[in-house]
Amino acid sequence: MKEKGWKECLWGGLIVDAGNSVLYKTGDWRSQKPIRDEKKCTDCLQCWIMCPDAAIKVKDGKVVGIDYDYCKGCGICSKVCPFDAIEMKEEGEQ
């Protein structure tokens, strides 16, 4: 996003584009990458409710992937998964 000059800023520092933080990809912070094993996953959604970055993608009650655009690689999903379905790997290793 192009930086704004003060004259273009809205009065009171308003941001009217709700949720535009998605334009800022935090995925490049990551040094460890969560890899999910579909075969082990039971779609219990523990990882989804505990992810600080809403990076576990769920559709119709099932995990459909990890959003690497935003995942910061904290490893919480891997720790909370009761079925050991998420493994943390060194970024760039796979």
Partner 1 sequence: MVSLKKLSEKEELLAPGHRLCAGCGASIIVRQVLLAAEDPVVIANATGCLEVATTIYPYTAWRVPWIHSAFENAAATIAGVETMYQVKKRKGEITRDIKFLAFGGDGGTYDIGIQALSGALERGHDILYICYNNGAYMNTGIQRSSATPKGASTTTSPAGKVIPGKRRFPKDLTAIVAAHNIPYCGQTSPSFYNDLIGKVQKALSAEGPTFLNIISPCPRGWRHETDQSIAMAEEAVTCCFWPLYEVENGEWRLTGYSKQIAEGKKEKTSVIDWMRKQGRFRHLFTDARKPFLDSIQEEVEREWENLKKRCGY
x-or-dash string of contact with ligand SF4, 45-64, rule CB under 6 A: xxx---xxx-xx------x-
72 part of the interface to ligand SF4, by CB under 6 A: yes
Interface residues for partner 1 in 28-87 (CB under 8 A)?
A: 29-30, 44-46, 48-55, 58, 61, 67, 69-70, 72-76, 78-80
Looking at the DSSP bridge assignments, the partners of residue 32 are: 90
Cβ density class 57-79: b for 16+ within 10 Å, e for less? eeeeeebeebbeebbbbbebbbe
- Shortest Cβ 60–partner 1 spacing (Å): 8
* C-alpha–C-alpha distance, residues 81 and 3, integer Å: 40
76 part of the interface to ligand SF4, by CB under 6 A: yes
